[in-house]
Amino acid sequence: MRIILSLFLILFASLPASSQEERKLLTSSNVQIEWKVTNRFRLFRDADAFRVHERAWQQYNIHVDQNRVAAEGRARFVNTTSVLGSEHVLNDRYISFSRILRRNYEHTGWAAKQIDSVCWSAKTRSHSACDGVENYVTPRFHEVEMKLKLRKPSNLITEHNCNWRIGDTAPITAPCDEAVTGLMPYPSGATISVNIEGEPAIATEAMVKDLLIVGLGDSFASGEGNPDVSVAMTGARRHNNLYPKREQNDAGGNAQWLDEPCHRSMYGHQLRAAMQIGIENPQIAVTFLGYSCSGASVDEGILGPQEYVDYVSNGDGSANAVKGGKRDTQLRWLLRELCAVKPEKDGGLWTCPGNNYRRNVDFLLLSVGGNDIGFSNLVAWATLRDSAAGKLASFFGATVSPKEFAANMKNKLPGAYAKLAKAIEMAVPLKGEDKAFDPSRVVLTAYPDILEDENGNVCAGGKDGEDEDGYAANQSLDLWQKWLVVTDKKIKAAHEQLAALHQRMGEIAGDHGWTFAARAYTDRAFRGHGFCAQNREKAKEPSEVLMIPCWGKAERPTQTCEGSWSGKERDWRPFNPESQNFPYALRQRWVRSFNDAYMIINKKVLDKSGQIDEKASGAVFTETTGAMHPSAEGHAAMADAILLDLRPVVDKVLGVEE
């Protein structure tokens, strides 16, 4: 027996190494270790919230494949439509990519279910809700999911347990065909190893790359027009006996925002672009610091305090805008969290003393310039009637003519951007490979063209004296028809300034070495989706209706509520505001109209005791807050446009080969 055993051992030892390897259950030749970060967008507290968006993207990719997009064009198509495709999966009233209505459609939108799952604290207005600001900005670990991938078809490992280790940690034992999770140290990384009892381990080196992305800017970045939780309307009570009224017409009935004073929500394109980077890269994480604020400009908002979009009543039917304190500036908000010591001013600009930063910033997403030169005032000029109200608004500086807007572009915008460039270089540690400040990591976003109809033409408004309510643009203004109207002459004059603004922004961004994400405009991302756009084939669907619901009947389908006072037959038209108001359902227009703003945000002015002042609300047009801003679909399309310029730079930072 001893002789036989010795001969067997000699024969086994003489076998090639590959033959010995094949006798083991786990070898580098028959299995591969795969791992990914479970929560790759750290604004969410846990992976479950992130997986909602990851699954939506995966579902969209399946849809693309089922529609047999040509292989040579697939990557380009998906890169151009990923965020928008995910938005369609998440918020469509129909089962994704079908014409079958969902039985349990959540009309409030996906953000309403996730607003309580974030690391932003509305109370402290900081990223402190996940074990403090420092732990959010500088993670110590990332949870990773690990599993085995078979290189060759085999059922053997299903019968065994595997022992997984991350570095020197205690083993995690689970069936070999199941995924396990563990904590990966950051930034050092560690070895992931796995073995079956009695066999040597196989291993791979793993290190998570955590990208820190900052978002600064104005209402086009904050998500204005798209609250995380929209206002609820009622069909039982009416405003002026004609129009829908808020279900809870007090302070508690307001729409809810991630950040209330700034009207910042999770629908903003900066947040969506940052999250998409995490979705597409399994072995990275994204830490996002967003501070964009509705109404912000360079001097008033980013560098200095601003007036918010909220108002407080004076008790006499008038109201004043709520003003931020002297430290309520976006750069200081950033430094308060990024700097390990108390920020200080140097030459009037915020800095981090001793450059004592908790970590470097990888990318700064920026949307600003429109408020500096009066974009909203140009919109006011284009829509206000030539009447006493219009003249009064002009007197108080509420309107800017195209000529004045062009002059501001020439005289104000270069100086504002130059001041901002200096402030960013002093305050934000944007370091390149050579450890020097890298201005190309500042990504300035272009403004889209929001004044087109469904055919890609400038919104039509007719001429003075014509049947105004026959035009789509004016149907979207019908509650305010006494003050607002769209005419061909004015809307075209305003539209011409958009091209000039785009060109000027690109030139100045180039002067400072910034990356100009121009595709939201140059690729006509909003072509056919401006504020007056409507899918005529679905014109009766509530989401496609341009008019605001009215109580009563009228002689013409497009007639406004004023004509329905004397109607004998009473009912809501064209839809019930309580049961058919779908703020985030898909629609042709990707821009919030004035009517949309009323039905989705309906911001009211409060007095000092917290009660609503209806007269003041009407006097300062707060019920239209959010009008002429991108919808959730519009922000998704803007995120896709930005990513076309951002992905190549991200790949370079991650070391991804083309």
Residue 517 vs residues 211, 568, 611, 643, 647: alpha-carbon distances, Å: 19, 55, 43, 8, 11
From CA 451, how far away is CA 57, in angstroms rounded?
Answer: 29
From CA 290, how far away is CA 295, in angstroms rounded?
Answer: 15
Give the pLDDT confidence of 295-333 residue by residue, as tens digits.
999 999 999 999 999 888 988 888 888 999 999 999 999
- What is residue 67's predicted lDDT score, i.e. its pLDDT? 79
Three-state secondary structure string covering 533-579: CCCHHHCCCCCCCCCCCEECCCCCCCCCHHHHCCCCCCCEECCCCCC
Nearest alpha-carbon partner for 36 in 206, 253, 241: 206
Residue 330 vs residues 20, 289, 376, 431: alpha-carbon distances, Å: 63, 11, 21, 20
Stated pTM of the model? 0.93
Q: How far is CA 190 from the centre of its chain?
A: 33
Residue 348 vs residues 299, 332, 354: alpha-carbon distances, Å: 12, 12, 17
State the amino acid at position 441 in one-letter form.
Answer: R
Least confidently predicted of 12-21, 184-193, 462-471, 568-577: 12-21
- What is residue 15's predicted lDDT score, i.e. its pLDDT? 44
Average pLDDT of the segment spanning 166-171 = 95
Element (H, E) at 158: none
Which position has the higher pLDDT, 343 or 314? 343
Q: Which residue's entry shows tokens 């206002």?
A: 231
From CA 141, how far away is CA 133, in angstroms rounded?
Answer: 15
Work out the mean pLDDT of the chain and round it to a whole number: 89
Residue 92 vs residues 48, 100, 574: alpha-carbon distances, Å: 21, 10, 21
- CB proximity list for 150: less than 8 A, separation 6 or greater: 30, 31, 32, 157
Q: Is the pLDDT of residue 13 over 60?
A: no
- What is residue 655's predicted lDDT score, i.e. its pLDDT? 83
Residue 332 contacts residue 289 (beta carbons within 8 Å): no
Q: Quote the crossing angle between the two packed helices 71-91 and 632-654, to the nearest 10°.
A: 130
Q: 368: which DSSP letter?
A: -
